[in-house]
Amino acid sequence: MNKLRVLLTGATGGMGSITLKELLKETDKFDITILVRNTEQDRLIVKEYENEKSLRIHWGDLTNYQDVYQCVKQTDLILHVAALVSPTADYHPDLAMKVNYGSMLNIIEAIKDQYRMNDVKLVSIGTVAATGDRMPPIHWGRVGDPIKPSIYDYYAVSKIAAERLLIEAELTYWVSLRQTGIMGPVMAKVKDAIMFHNCLDNVLEYVSDRDSGVLLRNLCLYEYNGTLSKNFWGHIYNIGGGESCRVDTLSMYKELYGAIGFRDLKYVINPKWYATRNFHGQYYLDSDKLEKHLHFQNDSMQYFYDEYLKNLGIIASISKFICKLPGGQRFMGNILKRVFIKDARTEHGTVRFIEQNMKEHIDAYWGSRKNWEAIPENINELEHFQNWNNVIRIDHGYDETKSERLLSIEDIKGAASFRGGECNSDSMITGDWVGKLKFTCAFGHEFEASPRLLLEGGHWCPECERTSWNYAARAKVDPFFAQVWNPIHNVHEPEREYKKIVTELDIKLNK
């Protein structure tokens, strides 16, 4: 049997590097190509693999079409893991769009230019950030819920544009895997203002870096063995670690700080430093779907807690000792708070937003300054959400119990109406999820889209998506979207429209 030729992007990143190690366990089955930037740091990372006979290192750049073309030419299956992620992407929106959207554009164009649209299988790693802020009580979600990137989140914006491009590219074999928060050593070392964007009442269904690598190895392995279901392709899935990886932020902090001696979080956490909205995360109603295909869920949150302590090293033991002494928790807490406040006052820091009265940011992250002022300084006085198991299921606007092969133009017209717009096409082939139909959104923008993009992907008007975050206005005319906006926003809050400074239209294909 011929080996499966696999192209892996992002092999020097967190998820990609672990995926590479997993693939190299199966060198009798895979010939692997990695596209790596020729930098000193990347050369050091891949140096240990230079003598691997089943590995080809192509020094180049995903934003260079010719590099991508050459790599695609020698592959059967592409694992597109590479991305410029947050928090780096937050500081460089233009670069995030260039890398995240531009790389997808290059890969798809290379496949098309080689007339291999029916042969090459493309696996794209998307993001949970596509559906943005899902604070309680709408903290349970699934694929098909409204696309709603958080305000200022250009990482999510760029990945949403890339996913739309992928779904509509008319490739025979594609899949979008929306990655959640990846727990592991890298997450344990994050030191950035983004930690204060993660609301104390927020939730995430994490997955470990190790399980993410196993996921992609198994995908390749099952494809090689011929045991991967044909129904796997042409869909969007949420990557999640399952029940043992679901946690709210405050509960996670109780574990982390409790492990280093804090019995009372009031000494180490000031709630007024944390946003109360506009991050991303949810518990998944459908993470079992991908698990049934790829069998990767092994780790629990305990893995991250162990990595956190390992990263602290001797500091953890010192902190536990001091916290046992009279006044020790206050002493250690003051030390940590002095470190935290420096990050919270940096460019994207929540404390900076308040101290400099940045009204647009204040409205985005708290709803209003009045809302922020109402937050207590003592964590023990904070009213923390408790009803985590209560599921409010988002209505997708069509009969999901029907078989896909029975999807009709009436279903599409009803779904479009539920989104505040209309379907302008008069007919479609029954059961055709790929053919593009014509639509108009509530704001009069005309566009074409496939049922797969809209109903399974949760996407809608591309003009609205690329122009601004117009969420308050949209919720008034779009009942589908209102389900993920109205429950967590007060009708008396300022109705702002936030213009976007970069879009996918800024990226030009350069062959």
Q: CA of 108: how far to CAs of 1, 62, 238, in Å?
A: 28, 12, 22
**197 close to 278: Cβ distance less than 8 angstroms:** yes
CATH for 217? 3.40.50.720
Domain assignment of residue 409, yes or no: yes
Domain assignment of residue 230, yes or no: yes
Question: How many distinct structural domains can be found in the chain?
Answer: 2
Q: What domain range includes position 475?
A: 404-506
Task: Please enumerate in sequence order all residues whose Cβ is within 8 A of that of 43, keeping only pairs 6 or more positions apart, or say none.
Answer: none
**Helix (H) / strand (E) containing 25:** none
Last residue within a domain, chosen from 264, 286, 302: 302
Residue-wise pLDDT tens for the chain (511 aa)? Answer: 799 999 999 999 999 999 999 999 999 999 999 999 999 999 999 999 988 989 999 999 999 999 999 999 989 999 999 999 999 999 999 999 999 999 999 999 999 999 999 999 999 999 999 999 999 999 999 999 999 999 999 999 999 999 999 999 999 999 999 999 999 988 877 889 999 999 999 999 999 999 999 999 999 999 999 999 989 999 999 999 999 999 999 999 999 999 999 999 999 999 999 999 999 999 999 999 999 999 999 999 999 999 999 999 999 999 999 999 999 999 999 999 999 999 999 999 999 999 999 999 999 999 999 999 999 999 999 999 999 999 999 999 999 999 999 999 999 999 999 999 999 999 999 999 999 999 999 999 999 999 999 999 999 999 999 999 999 999 999 999 999 999 999 877 888 999 999 999 999 988 8
Domain assignment of residue 385, yes or no: no
pLDDT in tens, 34-70: 999 999 999 999 999 988 989 999 999 999 999 999 9
Tell me how far apart the alpha carbons of residues 128 and 140 are, in angstroms, rounded to a whole number.
12
Tell me how far apart the alpha carbons of residues 110 and 112 are, in angstroms, rounded to a whole number.
5
Instruction: Tell me, yes or no, whether 289 and 415 share the same domain.
Output: no
Q: Which token pair is 347?
A: 């460019």
Instruction: Tell me, yes or no, whether 184 and 58 share the same domain.
Output: yes
Domain assignment of residue 394, yes or no: no
pLDDT in tens, 116-132: 999 999 999 999 999 99
Domain assignment of residue 268, yes or no: no
> Could you tell me which residues are beta bridge partners of residue 141?
284
Q: Which token pair is 199?
A: 């609301």
Tell me how far apart the alpha carbons of residues 1 and 393 are, in angstroms, rounded to a whole number.
46
Q: Quick check: helix, strand or coil at residue 338?
A: helix
Supply the pTM of this predicted model: 0.96
pLDDT in tens, 211-235: 999 999 999 999 999 999 989 999 9
Instruction: Tell me, yes or no, whether 94 and 238 share the same domain.
Output: yes
Domain assignment of residue 97, yes or no: yes
Q: Quick check: helix, strand or coil at residue 8?
A: strand
Domain assignment of residue 9, yes or no: yes
Q: Which token pair is 317?
A: 């033991």
Instruction: Tell me, yes or no, whether 283 and 416 share the same domain.
Output: no
Domain assignment of residue 331, yes or no: no
> Could you tell me which residues are beta bridge partners of residue 173?
121
Instruction: Tell me, yes or no, whether 294 and 427 share the same domain.
Output: no
